[in-house]
Structure 1
């Protein structure tokens, strides 16, 4: 998937009129994921994403492999986006959905294991 396609999918799922908002949301969510998931796993995901997004996952601003619940995840991403947590939750679901369709199922399954049960609302599950 190309970068523009990824952002367009996020924009569509969030029902945003602004491409810039979809980009900010994507970057904030990916950076927050990067704080939670270990480097090795992020590398596997990064190579399957558009280069610009992969680079974000390769950058480490803080130590990864931290443990925090969904509420803390939303708070951290919300601060990065500088928007309300309720909107960030919508953005997170969209980014997780597009991420799931962008990487191979085996890599996504390994990625999914780093999230506790309270994150399940962010993960799309087929009926």
Structure 2
């Protein structure tokens, strides 16, 4: 998947107002992910992404252990969108992971998921109702 297509998919699926917002969410999610997974896995994922995005996975050498809530909080701190609640940030991160899952081939995402505790499963699977309705619908 090319850069423009990937960012466009994140923007569309997360129902964001701009490509800049989609890039901010994608960048923040990737940078936070790079702090949580082994550098080798980060490099494997980065190698299948457009260079503009893959570089956000290459900045960290030390793996930290933190829970999903901390993951989402770190994404929120990095995003330039501001003022969003936990559920909105978590939803956008799920969208990024869903698009990444479609963009990469082989076992990269399976290996990445295997490094994370079970509580991270929510990050990798959008429920059908969320995918069609978005974070603010009820």
TM-score for the superposition, normalised by structure 1? 0.90
Matched, 1:64 2:73: no
Q: Give the paired residue count.
A: 125
- Distance in 2, matches of 1:66 and 1:90, equals 22
SS class of match (2:63): coil
Q: Deviation per CA, 1:67-125, whole angstroms, max 9, x where unpaired?
A: 11110000111111153233211110110001111112411110011221111112127
Gaps of 5+ in 2: 129-138
User: What pairs up with 1:102-117 in 2 under 5 angstroms?
Assistant: 102-117=103-118
Find the aligned partners of 2:49 and 2:11 in 1 and give their Cα distance.
17
* 8 Å contact from structure 1 (residues 34, 64) kept in 2: no
**What is the distance in 1 between the residues matched to 2:95 and 2:108?**
18
TM-score by length of 2: 0.83
